[in-house]
Structure 1
Amino acid sequence: MTEQKRYAILPLIAIGLVGGLLSGLFGIGGGVIIVPALVLLLVMPQRLAAGTSVAAILPAAVVGAISYAVQGNVDWTAGILLAVGIVIGSQVGALLLSKLPVGFLQWLFLGFLLVVIVSLWFVVPQRDSEISITVLTGAMLAVTGFLTGILSGLIGVGGGIIVVPVLMFFFGANDLVAKGTSLVMMIPGSLSGTLANWRRKNVDLRAAAAVGLAASAASPLGTIIAGTLAPSMSNILFSIFLVLIFTQMLVRLIRAKKN
């Protein structure tokens, strides 16, 4: 890539605003919105969109994490353990991004989403639930971060869509702590992944800055809305959101297979 295409600023800002709102509301990086939007609306190549999304996640994750932390909804120990794993995993994911077809992993990711969607209707976390940190759970958190980092680098998601339900269902976190901790984890993960993608020319920093700054402006509103929702309603909205993502990815994969 000798000369990088310059993408229109207004669509980038619009993508960032939507991604940032959802980032704050669900504790995700927004990559599941940003990547397909960059590809479909701006015709950005898939690999470049994935790398750009990882960079754009950073500002929204910082602002969102601060918003949740102010409300006391961050488990810092869990966040640090997840971050250690995701920093290493994102490097592996960025390396594989330039070498592997990601179709198989996308199908596995869809299977994971389907399990989460069903679980959200049956398991409702209590607001007073906390993560019990032991040697075993600490190691499991680091491994979770590592695997999330790999998928983050390959698919272009910040990892919250994986980590939030995992923290609730397997580690006993309530929904707000899961979201806040997830955003904390994404900060070093985004930095690590962006550095790796920049070295491999898989990121458009100008586009990432436009999307990321817009996302950071909208993220606090999402965190405020999240705090007003009952856990059951939060689960319902998250499951509907995941159904939309599942359907979108499934259609794209089927079309790619036909082509």
Structure 2
Amino acid sequence: MILPLLATGAMGGVLAGMFGVGGGIIMVPLLMLWARMDQRQAAATSLVAIVPTAVAGATTYGIAGEIDLVAAALVGAGAFAGAPLGAYLLRALPLAWLRWAFIVGMLIAAARLILVEPERGSDIDLSVLISLGLLLLGIVMGVAAGMFGIGGGVIAVPVLIALFGMGDLAAKGTSLAAMIPAAISGTIPNLRAGLVDVRQGLIVGIAAVLASQGGVALAFLVPPALSGILFGSLLVLVAGQLAIRAVRAGRRERRERDGDDRPTP
């Protein structure tokens, strides 16, 4: 069981460092595929692993001067508030809804990354309206973190680039810093609900931390347009695999339900 967890963490860590995400966008489906977890268990375990991963990645980006601390604080405050709502929805919504909402979200993020080329080196000019927008982004990011076990970077990075005009490296570093409170806030109710095995989450997290440093190095080497295309293409492939699994799971659940409805002899 340890090898699938380590492999999942390593892949998630590379993506976290390279693209400014928590790594959950790949760790959740891999935990479902390799560790045989259901959507809820995978999301809760991924969220635990994201805490150390985001800390490590944000530290490296910060040393390079690629974090907007004020923007990160505003987004992080919103994320801290939104994550418990996402964690509640994770427990309350049917698994089928969670599966398809996650897949649709991945495809939307993939389209944005592939079609729009980010700039490098742009800063945000803060105003009252911009500050409120960053808080709202954080709330959405937090709900996604708690609900899907992702850091929310697949939402935050494209939005910081497209709507707020932030450079791609600064957006990645700022996203990682902002997702730390979201991951902590979302993990607490999951722990109380008994959804997560902390040991498994830490195994994934340790592997992700070690791999994230290589991902950050790649982020500075790969041109922003190519980085977006690579990440978007990966999301499409993962979403396709998850869609196939969701259809099969739906058929299996219908067969089981129909079987339960048949009168006993």
Q: If the length of structure 2 is used for normalisation, what is the TM-score?
A: 0.89
Give the stretch that moved more between structures: 97-106 or 198-207.
Answer: 97-106
Q: Which 5+ residue runs of structure 1 have no aligned equivalent?
A: 1-7
- Is the 2:80–2:185 contact (alpha carbons within 8 Å) kept by the matching residues of 1? yes
Per-residue deviation, residues 23-71 of structure 1 (Å, max 9, x unmatched): 1011111112211222221222321221111011111111100111111
What displacement does 1:75 show? 1.0
Matched residue, 2:263? none
- 1:43-62 correspondence runs (5 A): 43-62=36-55
Q: What letter corresponds to residue 99 of structure 1 in structure 2? A: A
Identity of aligned residues (%): 45
- Map of 1:144-155 to 2, 5 A cutoff? 144-155=137-148
Higher gyration radius (CA): 2
What is the aligned partner in structure 2 of residue 20 from structure 1? 13
- Residue 61 of structure 2: aligned partner: 68
Aligned partners of 1:128 and 1:122: how far apart in 2?
20
Task: Tell me the alpha carbon deviations over residues 234-256 of structure 1, each in whole angstroms, 9 at most, x when there is no partner.
Answer: 12212212222322332233223
2:262 equivalent in structure 1: none
Structure 1 equivalent of residue 261 of structure 2: none
For 2:33, the equivalent position in structure 1 comes to 40
Match of residue 117 from structure 2: 124
Q: 2:204 aligns with which of 211, 214, 219?
A: 211
Contact 1:102 1:155 in 2 (8 A): no
**TM-score normalised by structure 1 residue count:** 0.91
Indicate conservation of the 8 Å contact 2:84/2:185, yes or no. yes
| Match for residue 242 of structure 1 among 227, 235, 239 | 235
The yes-or-no answer on 1:30 pairing with 2:23 is yes
2-structure distance, mates of 1:141, 1:253 = 33
Partner of 1:4: none
- Residues 79-117 of structure 1: CA deviation (Å, up to 9, x unaligned): 111111111111111112211125446545544443443
- Residue 259 of structure 2 corresponds to none
Report the Cα offset of residue 204 of structure 1: 0.7
Matches within 5 A, 1:1-259: 8-101=1-94, 103-104=96-97, 106-259=99-252
